[in-house]
Each structure stands twice: as C-alpha cells, then as structure tokens.
Chain A
Amino acid sequence: MMFFLELIICFIATVGFGVIFSVPRRALLLGGGIGVIAYTVLNTGLYLDASPVFSTAAASLTAALFAHLLARIIRIPVTTLAIPGILPLVPGSRAYFTMLAFVDGEYLTGLEYGVETMLRAGAIAAGLVFALAVFSFGKGVGHRYETNR
C-alpha cells in the first residue's frame, strides 16, 4: 500500500520536473509515467537484493527504451521524455551525504559516498547509452575498423 502511495508521489514529482524543464504539454503525463516505471524497476531491483548500481542501470535502460519508443510514436525529441524519466534515479541523496561528510572532515566516508554517487550516475549514463544503441541500429558512429568494406 505504501509503495503505491510512493508511486503516486513519484508521478506527481516527475510531472513537476517536467514543468520546470518546460516539457510540452502533450508529453508531460507520459514523462511522469516513464518516471514511475523507472522508480518501480529501481525498487524491484533493490527488493530482489540486486546492487543499487545494477538496479539503477536496469531502471535507466527501461526508462530510456520507453522514452525512445514513445518519442517515435508522438514525434517529439527523445530528451523531452528521457530527462523527466531518469530524474527519480538521480542519486541526490548520496551526493548530499558526500558533501556533508566532506564538510564534517570525514574524508574516508565522503570518498565512499562519492564513489557510489559517481557509479550511480555512470549507471544512468550506461542505461541511456544502451537504449540509444538499440534505437540507432546501423547508423551510429564507428570507431575501430571499417568492417563493411
């Protein structure tokens, strides 16, 4: 029951973020929905004892996939959906405790929290990148060899 309440709060908060970033009206509620999906995946992962970094990556990947899919359907830039969608995953709490530990002079604790913050941020990025790789199949930017020659 409490979890459903959290989902509703997450939806409202994500829509609020949509307004802050001036997301167009027709995409506001969709962005909120993607945020709720991301939050659900994150908490399911944590509930199943997966590591926070892995859960964040899975949630970010799911959110980004939905964002790409819906953006194709209603023909708007992906960012308008992806930015509100990944916001519930932002490690704001970890970042804050990192700062707090450094202010208190507890550098080791601060480094611990700081590394976790960076890893979670990296996990969000990884999810976005994988979704991008799926949706730009065959037209991305090559790097090593021209294998088609």
Chain B
Amino acid sequence: MGKADQVMDICLLAGEIMLTYGAETYRVEETLERMAKASSFKNVHCFATTTGIFLSFEEEGKEDLMQMVRIDDRLQDLNKVTEVNQVSREYVNHELDTEEAHEKLKAIAESPVPYPLWLIHLSAGIAGSGFALLFGGAWPDLFPAFLAAVLTSVTVVEFERYLKVRFAAEFAAAFLGGSLAIALVFFGIGDNVNQIIIGSLMPLVPGVPLTNAVRDLMSGDLVAGVSRGAEALLTALSIASGVAFAISLFL
C-alpha cells in the first residue's frame, strides 16, 4: 500500500471517529486538512457534513486521490473526540509516524466508553435530581427525581441497544420517566410533580447536537448546522411528545 493510501486511511478513520462521537464539522475538516498537509500532500480539500466526509488530495507527480466515508451513528462520547484531537496534534508535529497513528486511532475506535454504564446511570440520577431542585423543587423531591432520572437513562440506553431506533428510544424514556414520576407523587413520595418530571427529563437534553449546530452555522458549515439543528429539534419533540403522552394518560 502506498503512502497516499495509508494517509487517506488514517485521515478518514480519524474523521469518522470524531464525527460519530460528537465533534463539530469544522473541527473534522480542519483536523483532516492539517493531517494531510503535514504528510506533504498538495491541493488538500475536505468536506464534511453530519452524515459523511469527503477528502481529496494530490500526491506529487500522480493524480488526485479522493475517498469518502459515510457516518451512520451519531453517539456522544466527547472523550474519544479529545483523544483523536491529541493523536492528530502529535501526528501534525511529526511525533508519530503513519503506522503509530493508525494503531492509536484503531485503539481509540475500539475502546469502550470511559465511564462504566452504572456510573452513567448514577450520574444521570444525580444530575436529574439536582436540576429538579434548582428548577424550584423542594428537598422531598430529590429522591423521586433521582429514581425517575435513573429510569429514563436506563430506558434510553437499553432501548437503543436492542431496537436501534433513536427517536423511539427517547420517546419511550420520556414516557417511562414521566410515568414513574407521576406514580411516585401519587403514592406520596415527593410534592412537586412538575419539577420531578423536569428533573427526570434532563438527562435526555440534546446538548451535543444543539451546541454543535450553533458552532457549525457560525463557521459557515450551513448544511451540517441545519441538519444538526433538525436533529436536536427532533429529539426535543420526541421527549415532549413522550412526556405529554404520560401526562394525558395518568394526570
């Protein structure tokens, strides 16, 4: 395999990891262009949207090379984005050669989430109950909000693991979390049903697509920005309809 093919491979692998796990489009384009230029290729162009990356560059004395990858999943794991960022920085500074960079990127792609799943569910509970209190709840609301937020987090993870339909998972999670909150208040655990429901929904907030949509629109990646905004809006709508369903059934 020639050097151009190798560099193309590591660039696209880096871009694929970053875009899948929640990097902004501009960061992907800039990283890939820098890596290709650092390998002394000319005429480097990269175009990334939310669902795919195109990269082309010219090898000295040969024709232009161009490849694309399609991004199917959009997950949230900012740790991987940070690690790929680190690898690309070392590669651009020539502290890593092509082989080492490829090994490191492969290791990042295969590594699991940095925090165990139980810790993620636990912190969803803590974050949810904390925000229930900050949004005007009282101390007795802390425990039911914790339970409902944990249920929301568990539902969204387990539903996605088996059925792989993202918006349905969010709908189901919002529905179950809201139902549990209403049930707990009905049995006398907690006072403010509204604040408990808000707390239980907080772990579903589409923070990554929302922030990235703003960033992408401002750096001129209009296609990527609008599609990310649509994604965040769809998530917000499925949460709202899920909890609206629970409320109109039980309250």
Given the known inter-chain contacts A13-B126, A24-B78, please indicate yes or no for A140 contacting B135, CB distance below 8 A: no
Contacts of A97 in B (CB 8 A): 194
The reply to whether the CB of A48 lies closer than 8 angstroms to some CB of chain B is: no
The smallest beta-carbon distance between A18 and chain B, in angstroms, is 8
The smallest beta-carbon distance between B223 and chain A, in angstroms, is 14
Q: Are A92 and B201 in touch, CB under 8 angstroms?
A: yes
Kindly state the interface size class of chain B when it binds its partner. Answer: 35 or more
The reply to whether the CB of A141 lies closer than 8 angstroms to some CB of chain B is: yes
The reply to whether the CB of A25 lies closer than 8 angstroms to some CB of chain B is: yes
Q: Are A10 and B134 in touch, CB under 8 angstroms?
A: yes
Within the complex, which residue of B82, B119, B120, B131 is in contact with A77, where a contact is CB–CB below 8 Å?
A: B82
Contacts of B194 in A (CB 8 A): 96-97, 100
Given the known inter-chain contacts A12-B130, A22-B115, A99-B243, please indicate yes or no for A76 contacting B214, CB distance below 8 A: no
The reply to whether the CB of A41 lies closer than 8 angstroms to some CB of chain B is: no
Q: Please give the number of chain A residues whose Cβ is less than 8 angstroms from any Cβ of chain B in the complex.
A: 46
Within the complex, which residue of B83, B218, B236 is in contact with A132, where a contact is CB–CB below 8 Å?
A: B218
Question: Chain A at the B interface: mostly helix, strand, loop or mixed?
Answer: helix
Given the known inter-chain contacts A77-B85, A83-B78, A141-B220, please indicate yes or no for A17 contacting B135, CB distance below 8 A: no
* In the bound complex, CA of A100 to CA of B27 (Å): 38
Within the complex, which residue of A9, A93, A121 is in contact with B198, where a contact is CB–CB below 8 Å?
A: A93
* In the bound complex, CA of A19 to CA of B153 (Å): 12
The smallest beta-carbon distance between B77 and chain A, in angstroms, is 4
* Residue interface bits B117-138, CB-to-A below 8 A is 1, else 0: 0011001111101110111100
Contacts of A17 in B (CB 8 A): 123, 127, 202-203, 207
Q: Are A125 and B207 in touch, CB under 8 angstroms?
A: no
The reply to whether the CB of B39 lies closer than 8 angstroms to some CB of chain A is: no
* In the bound complex, CA of A24 to CA of B114 (Å): 8
* In the bound complex, CA of A21 to CA of B77 (Å): 6
Q: Are B214 and A125 in touch, CB under 8 angstroms?
A: yes
Q: Are A87 and B207 in touch, CB under 8 angstroms?
A: yes
Q: Which residues of A contact B (CB under 8 A)?
A: 6, 9-10, 12-25, 27, 39, 75-77, 79-80, 82-83, 86-88, 90, 92-93, 95-97, 99-100, 102-103, 121, 125, 128-129, 132, 140-141
